[in-house]
Amino acid sequence: MQNGTSNLKDHLPGYRRLSRLPKQFLAISPFDGDCMPSRVRLFDPRSGRPTQPFPHRWNFEDPVRILETYFWNAEEEQGPGRHNRYLDVPGFAPVLVTRDPGMIRAIATATGDREGQFDRDTLPSVGIARATGTDTLLYANGAEWKKQRKIAACPFGKTTLFQPEQFCEFADTFRETVRGRIDVLRQHLAASGQETVDIPLEPEVKVVMLEMLTNNFFGAEISYEELREKYVPALERVIDHIVSDTVKNRLGVPWRKFPSLSDRIVRAKADDATFEELTQRILAPRGEKKALWKQFKSDAPDAKLISNLKVFLAGALEATTSYATWAISHLARHPDAQEKVFEEVKDIDVYTPEILAGAKYLRAVLDETLRLTPSLYFLPRRATADTWVTSADGRKMFIPWGTHLLLDVWHANRHEDHWGVEVSGYPANVFEPDRWRILAESGRAAKDTLHFGFGHGPRVCPGKHLGELEVGLTVGALVKTFRFRSELPQNPARAGVSTKPADGTRVCMSLRSP
């Protein structure tokens, strides 16, 4: 990565925006190099594309469709514009959207705290910041991000989680949580008097994931009933509000400061208070050094941790629920794959990192889930300087200062050029865990088969290892106990903070024979 030199324009407010105007009005690309993106028009009513290439109050609930708009008719191109597109509106910073895995990897790797590196773009996160605060690992950049990352690294790191004593403690409580919830499903099935029951599993999975976070990981003692009836519904509404607030709240005023003039505002304030209460309950065990708090080395006062704990609760609940429900949804539509997982886990009673690593087909199912249906469907970045980026295969792109970058993981992972028959033996848009065996046998390095399921580079998700443990245990235990299938062959995504199955992971379940 090579940065432009500093000069007068770096110190005059608005100079860069004004200097861009002539090229913007003449539609001259601000990018350069041998990996030049193609331009997308702001309005193009005759193109037939699904929506405008920017979020507004009538399309923000379908962000995947906005990303698709950038690549409308892109299959007709054969050059770098096939996978790299930009929008450049006079008076605004350019927007670059890439579904090129090589460029995604290069840009994500060059994101960090050093001068001239890419920042995480905060624009898509303003709703989260208004709900949780700006002093968080998610929202911070530069030196502040580095400080926040250091605090989070110890309890979430692989070396901590996988220490034998620490892991056994977590594994025991995780297993007990999952066993209890599976018993609830078993009782529900027995009470129905039927051999099968039709049920949306997302609500059940969400409670399991929140219980693992609050009780097992943070050491709180919150009942299943409270989690299901009080905290999960409140968190769901808070997260929905975060998404709409990001687009609709143009004034930037936190909604909790609005007067309580409507039922909607009253409900939102009540949900915010419930979120605050839950955060305080997981913070309380810190004084007794329970669970993760034994590994937490920071002497920061409790008040300094509140914002990050809120981000962790909302973010981890969204990400792990997405991950687990997509895996279940795929297995419900692929009974052969489900039976292969069962044969692998049927005799597993204790999940350790070694056993999970040895369950290779389950691992392939989870990797294929993250490839085809990642919860993080794009990674936001922002150029802090005029920057040259070079991919691993030597392609170069010049990205100007201030550019908003959307690293479109969702469409990169589904494109035939990157993951199709010629590359992996199977079409890119189908769920096929066996593709990972073929990729391994072909000798392709891990760096060439990145699905970016937890991000990539210095800002990779700090909860990656915890999420893998939670989802592996949950999916494995569910397959071991039940058979489940879906009556619908297709299951489109709904997307907000994360993606999830649009049908709420509705399956028809039956108990396996003992």
Q: Is 35 annotated as a binding residue?
A: no
Q: Give CA–CA dist 307/445, Å, rounded.
A: 38
Rg (CA), the chain: 23
Q: Give CA–CA dist 248/266, Å, rounded.
A: 18
Record the tokens describing residue 67, joined without a space: 């990303």
Q: Give CA–CA dist 329/368, Å, rounded.
A: 12
CB distance 204 to 193 below 8 Å: no
DSSP per-residue letters across 248-297:
H-TT---GGGS---SHHHHHHHHHHHHHHHHHHHHHGGGGGT-GGGGG--
CB distance 419 to 340 below 8 Å: no
Q: What are phi and psi of 31, to 5 degrees?
A: -95, 165
Q: Give CA–CA dist 412/405, Å, rounded.
A: 14
61 DSSP assignment: T
CB distance 328 to 479 below 8 Å: no
Q: Give CA–CA dist 241/497, Å, rounded.
A: 10
**Distance linking the first and last C-alpha atoms of the chain:** 58
Q: Are strands 396-399 and 38-39 parallel, antiparallel or unpaired?
A: unpaired
Q: Which residues contact 296 (CB under 8 A, 6 or more apart)?
A: 151, 154, 155, 286
DSSP 3-state assignment of 10? Answer: helix
Record the tokens describing residue 389, joined without a space: 């980026």
**Residues within the annotated binding site?**
461
**Residues within the annotated binding site for heme?**
461
